[in-house]
Amino acid sequence: MVNVFIDGILLHVKRGSTVMQACTQASKEIPHFCYHDRLSIAGNCRMCLVEVEGMPKPVASCHWPVAEGMRVRTDSPTTINARKGTMELLLINHPLDCPICDQGGECALQDQSVAYGGDRSAYHEFKRAVDDKDIGSKIKTVMTRCIHCTRCIRFATEIAGVEEMGATGRGENMQVGTYVEQAIQSELSGNMIDLCPVGALTSKPYAYTARPWELVRTTSIDILDAIGTPITVDNRHGQVLRTQPQENNAINEEWMTDAARFSYDALHTNRLTSPMVKRGGELQTCSWPEAFTYAKTGMEKPTAAILGSMASAEDAFAFKSFMENNLKGAAFDCRPAGSQLDNFYTFNTPLIEFENVDAVLLVGCNPRLEAPLLNVRLRRAALKRRIPVAVLGAEVDLTYPYQHLGTTPDELESLGRSKFADTLKSAQKPAIIIAASVLTRPDGAAILNAVEKFAKKSGVVKDGWNGLNILPSTCGRITALDMAARGGDGKSSTNAILKAFNSGKTQTLIVYGEDTITAEDVDATRNTQHATLIYIGTHLTPLAQLADVILPAAAWSEKPGLYANVEGRVQQTHAAVPPPLNAKEDWKIFRALSEEMGSALPFNTLAQLRDAIARQHPAYNPQSWNRITPRMGVITKTDAAVSARPFAPVVTHYYLRNEYLRQSPTMHKCQTEAGSADLGNTPASPPPATRNKPATRKAA
Ligand code: SF4
Ligand code: FES
């Protein structure tokens, strides 16, 4: 520790700290632009200048180390004048176009110029102008506003792992951009918008839509992957206009994925806004009682149900209760088609523990596209701490070096004798991550068994440490499994349910929040054979168009809901806006339907429903929210052998990987820029916007 004086106050500061850190410890705010505590120090904006006694000139506090007995003045005339000088220099070439800048109202330069800017400039030459760069559909650039802080460049290089942003030229001719004008290829690029202290990089989809003071902010979480990133949802007049990350060191640090940030236009595109029934081969809007009557008639026949990947605990619990209470014996499942996910479906290693993990094996897993914020931690561990990382699966670009051990699961047998097994054995905190999608393979259970055996032998599972982890695709999948939303004859699976419906064994199929199953999975000709397809969801998807009855539900931003993330941490979404027109919160649909069926579910308010959930699932008790509650996952034993079929890439179309994302025009643009928009039944062009208009389309 060293003793320093900040404005005359004695402080004990860790040796090696910067003057800025010491000032922060003393609660003295130092204005800055280029400094960011999660990036390397650039020291190029000079806004953080402070006076240090004995130094001939003010020093940049963000990179100047403290020394014993140092006396720092953060409010002396010298310091204030230095900041004013820096501000004048920064504003020389700045266009001062705040009235037409989307950063206005939340701009660091604007704020600091109020404190240190003059009301006139001594500079009478022409201002420099820089051409804007087209770097894709996510980020809008106005590069004349750039103050060359290089935060965006450092983020792209250090955190996102894509060396696509850089600076060319020197002095006044310096320009920041992608060297070759092209869409930036990163699943995290939107974070540069948050980092840019001026209006040089702003959100393209949000451009000119609102001012920050017009927005109503609601806290929520991102449910599009399994990390559960805390976010804020901003709306104006009931329309969601943007989403941004909140800071949480244990979960997302302060980053957010591009899929979560830019897909909010799906919330008002192609929505189901009224109940619908099919008459004469055409879907027509109707009242809720009418739709319930149709649904009830359908459910009098042998029925089965499938739950998708976006349901909250309330929704999954109500769905399960409805199936058990009103359709006794009917098969239902919440797992993706083919999945053998059973009792073990979460991480045993908390996300923040990846700061200490010292060897990692990825099995059939691509964390860069499945959980980009986990990949940020793995990248940091691989590059900064140089931990060994190995991949058994498809060779992919993870943005950091790894050892490729093979592409087929049968290599697991010889893995025990490999050098990497020794590496894991000698590690203190080794980890294995298996993609949940591996368990949709026919030999999925056998792979999991083989991995578990290997994990025990190589010290990944040992006394006091369990580094064996399953990475599911979304929070909703984990939550639905927590709610045990599967039942029937004990052997039900999504595949078996689909097969039974397509073969005529069951006459009615309820698809709630479709995800991995598509219109092709359901035999459309069944519609003419007295079969009934009931669709409960948010968008008029190709599968919804096949339905006989549609019950419109609320999207994640329109309802309060509890979700568990990959660590088993329960967090909640809040309703930022109401569901559109006649759509209803999902659990209320099941509650009303149960009443229609003559046996009402025993909860009538959200509080009653949450009480019922908490009684059965302690992790969902309010006292446990936001804490990690480990799941006691048990791996079901099997004697089956693993096959030699190679692991397939887990995610092939990052921006269009689920039905919600496929409804977003922005995501379609991003996927096109990424090089491939061809995803099976995905429409090549964005679906038409039908906000607030009841959709009436011909059945496929
Ligand atoms: S674009 Fe923004 S973040 Fe990047 S260097 Fe310029 S001011 Fe800094
Ligand atoms: S914040 Fe210190 S030089 Fe920019």
Domains of the chain: 2-92 (3.10.20.740), 98-267 (3.30.70.20), 271-337+492-624 (3.40.50.740), 351-471 (3.40.228.10)
d(CA 177, ligand 1 centre) in Å = 9
- Integer CA distances (angstroms), 34 to 60, 109, 117, 195, 326, in order: 11, 11, 18, 9, 60
- Answer whether 418's CB lies under 8 Å from 405's CB: yes
Whether residue 35 has its Cβ less than 6 Å from ligand 2: yes
Q: Which residues contact 296 (CB under 8 A, 6 or more apart)?
A: 593, 596, 597
Residue 237: pLDDT band with limits 50, 70, 90: very high
Which numbered atom of ligand 2 lies nearest the CA of 32?
1
User: Per-residue pLDDT for 692 more than 60?
Assistant: no
Instruction: Give me ligand 1 centre to Cα 193, in Å.
Output: 9
**Does position 329 have pLDDT exceeding 70, yes or no?**
yes
Q: Whose CA is nearest to atom 2 of ligand 1?
A: 196
- Does residue 153 have its Cβ closer than 6 Å to ligand 2? no
Ligand 2 binding pocket includes 43 (Cβ within 6 Å): yes
Residues with CB under 6 A from ligand 1: 146-152, 176, 195-198, 200-201
CB distance 45 to ligand 2 below 6 Å: yes
- Residue 503 pLDDT > 70, yes or no? yes
Rounded distance between C-alpha atoms, residue 529 and residue 42, angstroms: 69
Ligand 2 within 6 A of 33 CB? yes
- Determine the 3-state secondary structure of 90 from DSSP: helix
pLDDT band at 305 (very low <50, low <70, confident <90, very high): very high
Query: Which residue is closest in CA terms to ligand 1's atom 4?
Result: 152
**How many angstroms separate the alpha carbon of residue 517 from the centre of ligand 2?**
52
How far the first Cα of the chain sits from its last, in Å, is 72
For range 617-646, the mean pLDDT: 89
Q: What pLDDT score does 386 carry? A: 96
pLDDT digits (tens, 9 = 90+) for 155-211: 999 999 998 899 999 888 899 988 888 888 999 999 999 999 999 999 999 999 999
- 0.85 surpassed by complex ipTM: yes
32 alpha carbon – ligand 2 mean position (Å):
5
Which of the two residues, 412 and 204, has the higher pLDDT score? Answer: 204
Any atom of ligand 2 within 6 Å of the Cβ of 32:
yes
Does position 639 have pLDDT exceeding 90, yes or no?
A: no
Can you give the pLDDT at residue 524?
67
| Summary mean pLDDT of the chain | 91
Residue 46 Cβ < 6 Å to ligand 2: yes
Q: How far is CA 617 from the centre of its chain?
A: 25
pLDDT of residue 689: 41
Ligand 1 mean position, distance from CA 87 (Å): 16
Q: Which atom of ligand 1 is nearest to the CA of 153?
A: 4
Which pLDDT band holds residue 697 (cuts at 50, 70, 90)? very low
Ligand 2 proximity of 379 Cβ (cutoff 6 Å):
no
Sign of the CA dihedral with 319 first, then 324, 328, and 330 last: positive
Q: Which of 139, 201, 202, 203 to mutate to test the pocket of ligand 1 (most atoms within 8 A of CB)?
A: 201
Largest CA distance in the chain: 91
Distance CA 137, CA 146 (A): 19
Q: Which is the closest atom of ligand 2 to the Cα of 49?
A: 2
Ligand 2 centroid, distance to 86 Cα (angstroms): 10
Give me ligand 1 centre to Cα 620, in Å: 42
Q: Decide if pLDDT at 55 tops 60.
A: yes
* 612 CB within 6 A, ligand 2: no
Name the pairing type of β-strands 331-333 and 303-307.
Answer: parallel
